[in-house]
Amino acid sequence: MSEKVILSVDDGIALVELNRPEKCNALDYELFKALVDVQKRIADMREVRAVVLTGRGKDFCSGIDIKSMFRSPSIAMRLLFKVLPWSANRAQRVSTGWRDLPVPVIAAIQGRCWGGGMQIALGADFRIANRDASLAVMEGRWGLIPDMGGTLALREQLPQDQALLLSMMAEPVTAEEARSLNLVTELAEDARERSLQLARALCERSPNALAEVKRLYKRRGFGSNGAVLFGETWGQIRAMLSKNQRIAVARQQGKERNYLPR
């Protein structure tokens, strides 16, 4: 795996760090590829119970590395190519790939979270930001539209007029403003430490139940009423048939039990 993304796993928590601090973690082609690769690795690691996604250095991610990305037209084509129109291409998977993982994903945001960085963070289930962070849907400044999959979360999290305004104006907002818009989940003095704290708390719950809840909200939450009701019933059956549901009951009764891999 590329050194541009660092993956470490400790006690069920996968820590994923964008590792281009000298470039403010700006996205070049290799970083796009490394993020997709690390998502695939985590998907195969059944012992992983939660993911914390962050960047090394002063910024979460300042956006696209324009100089690197536009040095050759073939780079953009490799990112945008898709076999089926409704599937995610590589550019979109750096956001949607986090949504597809059956574990909670928490983005710990510091400094700038702009453009492509904002799209990556939108793929997480929770976003915790330092109070001095700034966030922006920045593509409009370049005469472009957001095209990295973050639109899925943006339309879920924000009223339509606010999502439109952020995308059309392409201006940064403060962490306080982002919280008021519901663009971030929480503000913290130390987003990384708070994210790890939340990850540890989530690890106290059945991994099967967490996976089913995420599947229900991420995949069926905006379908028809019937699809939601079916999703609840089918997800509950799957959860009840898991050994971890029985372990959860035992833990609530004060018995020492460790959860099994989902």
Give 57-66 pLDDT, tens digit per residue.
999 999 988 7
Extents of the domains making up the chain: 5-202, 207-252
| Percent of the chain at pLDDT exceeding 70 | 92
The verdict on domain 5-202 having CATH code 3.40.50.2000 is no
Given a cut of 80, whether residue 158 has pLDDT beyond it is: yes
Please, which residues bridge with residue 105 across strands? Answer: 51
Provide the mean pLDDT of the chain: 91
Given a cut of 90, whether residue 197 has pLDDT beyond it is: yes
Given a cut of 60, whether residue 28 has pLDDT beyond it is: yes
pLDDT in tens, 35-54: 999 999 999 999 999 999 99
Name the pLDDT band for 101 (thresholds 50, 70, 90).
very high
75 is written with which tokens? 């780079």
| pTM of the predicted structure, to 2 decimals | 0.91
Cα angle: 241, vertex 231, 217; to 5 degrees: 110
DSSP state of 170: -
Name the pLDDT band for 108 (thresholds 50, 70, 90).
very high
